[in-house]
Amino acid sequence: MIEPWVVLSFSAAIFVIGFAGVLIRRNIIVILMCIELMLNAVNLTFVTYSKQLQDMNGQLAVFFIITVAAAESAVGLGLIIALFRTLRTVDTDDIQLLRE
């Protein structure tokens, strides 16, 4: 059996990679993927604590987070497609539409 600290360390590393990707990258699609990576890191943490504490509430939270992540991906992808059709770019530096 894998020790909980190993899984939590792995989860923290995944979260940091996702957070760095959100801060560094300029492509909206990559930013959305990094947000999904951060959500999966949180899910892994919830499942680890749920298993450690023998409580199903963490796994129930994971179910809702996965549902929200799927909806966020669908809405985000729709917005990205609409922006790309209008502006022909998905680079955050080139999108000035919301600032006007």
- DSSP 3-state of 91: strand
For the stretch 21-79, pLDDT in tens is: 999 999 999 999 999 999 999 999 999 999 999 999 999 999 999 999 999 999 999 99
Domains in the chain with CATH codes: 4-99 (1.10.287.3510)
Residue 100: predicted pLDDT = 59
Provide the pLDDT confidence category of residue 98 given band limits of 50, 70 and 90: low
pLDDT per residue over 4-23, tens digit each? 999 999 999 999 999 999 99
What's the rounded Cα separation, in Å, for the pair 53 and 68? 25
Q: Is the pTM for the entire model greater than 0.95?
A: no
**Paired strand residues for 91:** 27
pLDDT of residue 70: 93
Type of residue found at 54: Q
